[in-house]
Amino acid sequence: MDFNKIVESVTNSWQLKTVVSFFVTCLSFLFGEVQAPLLALCLLIIVDTVTKWGAVSKAKSEEKKLGSIREGFYSAWHDGTLNSKTMRQKFFKKAFSYAVLIMSFNLAMKCIPPVVLFGSDWSKFPLGFIYSFLSMTEVMSIVENLIEMGMDALRPLSVFLSKKRNELKG
C-alpha cells in the first residue's frame, strides 16, 4: 500500500474534517483562545518537569556517591526512580487538574457580563487569576527544584515567591 494515498484519502474525507472541526470548536469554547498565558503555562510545566529530573538526578548522584548529575540521571532512570510511567502519571495528573481549572474559569468568565471599570474589562479577572496562580505555582516548583539541585542562592527568592503566592490567595 502507498502511504501517501492513505494520508491523502484521510485528509480529503469530509467526515473526518467535520469531526475534527467540531472537536476543535468544542475545545476552543471550553478553553478559550490559545493565548500567551496558556502557552507560557505549558512551557513552565515543561521547565518544571526538566528541573525535577535534575533534582532527582542530583539526589541520586549524592545517594550513590556518583560523580555528576548525568550519572545520577542514568542511575535514577535505570533503577526506576525516574521512569516514564511515574513521570507520565504525575504529568497527566497535573495537566488534567490544570485543564479542569482553566476550563472552569474560562466558562465562568463567559457567564460574567462585561464590566468595564477604569478602562479595564473586569469580567476577565477570573481567568487571569487562575493563570497567575498556576504560573506562580510552577515558578515556585522550578525554584525549589533548582535549590534541590544545589543552587542555594535561590532560597530568598523561594521565600519571596511564597509570600507573593500567599498574597494572591488572600
Q: What counts of helices (H) and strands (E) characterise the chain? A: 7, 2
From the list 162, 126, 116, 124, the residue with the least C-alpha distance to 141 is: 162
pLDDT number for residue 142:
92
| Mean pLDDT for the chain overall | 79
Would you say residue 8 lies in a domain? no
Tell me the pLDDT tens digit for each residue of 128-146.
Answer: 888 888 898 899 899 999 9
The answer to whether position 104 is within a domain reads yes
Q: What angle separates helix 14-31 from helix 84-111, to the nearest 10 degrees?
A: 70
Distances from the Cα of 30 to the Cαs of 101, 123, 131, in angstroms? 11, 16, 15
Establish if 16 belongs to a structural domain.
Answer: no
Q: Is the pTM of this model over 0.95?
A: no
Report residue 163 as a C-alpha cell.
509570600
Domain that holds residue 41: 34-169
Residue 98, in any domain of the structure: yes
Residue 1 in this model has a pLDDT that exceeds 70 = no
> Do 168 and 136 meet the contact criterion of CB atoms below 8 Å apart?
yes
Supply the Cα-derived Rg of the chain in whole angstroms. 22
Domain count, the chain: 1
Residue 97 C-alpha cell reads as 487538574
In a domain, 103, yes or no: yes
In a domain, 9, yes or no: no
Is 17 part of a structural domain of the chain? no
Q: Is residue 12 part of a domain?
A: no
